């Protein structure tokens, strides 16, 4: 199926590429099937494309949620490690 990019009308390439997902300040890279536009860098996901990574993303979110349940203040600790009373000239 020939597709054109809705944004710049370039040819779309159906491909599997790494995609970074961020959830509650945690990052993961998944392999995302989509129609990619090399001209403007956009990715267009069909229903089947998003379905293909749905479970992987759900698993990642579950791991992050679990981590934050076990260590609920881990984000605060990271933020708290920045000295707030640093004296500036
Ligand atoms: Zn484009």
Tell me, in angstroms, the distance from the centre of ligand 1 to residue 87's CA: 49
Tokens 């490690």 correspond to: 81
Classify domain 12-80 by CATH architecture. Answer: Roll (3.10)
Contact of 30 with 57, CB cutoff 8 Å: yes
Tell me, in angstroms, the distance from the centre of ligand 1 to residue 4's CA: 8
pLDDT, tens digit, 9 for 90 and up, residues 3-28: 899 999 999 999 999 999 999 999 99
Tell me, in angstroms, the distance from the centre of ligand 1 to residue 7's CA: 5
Is the pLDDT at 34 greater than 70, yes or no?
Answer: yes
Q: What is the pTM of this model?
A: 0.67
Domain boundaries in the chain? 12-80
Q: CA 24, CA 54: separation in Å to the nearest integer?
A: 17
Q: CA 54, CA 30: separation in Å to the nearest integer?
A: 11
Is the pLDDT at 82 greater than 50, yes or no?
Answer: no
């Amino acid at each position: 199926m020939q597709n054109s990019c809705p944004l710049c009308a370039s040819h779309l390439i159906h491909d599997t590429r790494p995609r970074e997902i961020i959830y509650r300040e945690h990052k993961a890279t998944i392999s995302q099937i989509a129609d990619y536009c090399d001209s403007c860098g956009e990715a267009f996901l069909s229903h089947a494309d998003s379905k293909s990574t749905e479970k992987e993303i759900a698993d990642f979110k579950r791991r992050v949620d679990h981590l934050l349940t076990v260590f609920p203040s881990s984000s605060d600790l990271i933020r708290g490690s920045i000295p707030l009373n640093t004296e500036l000239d």
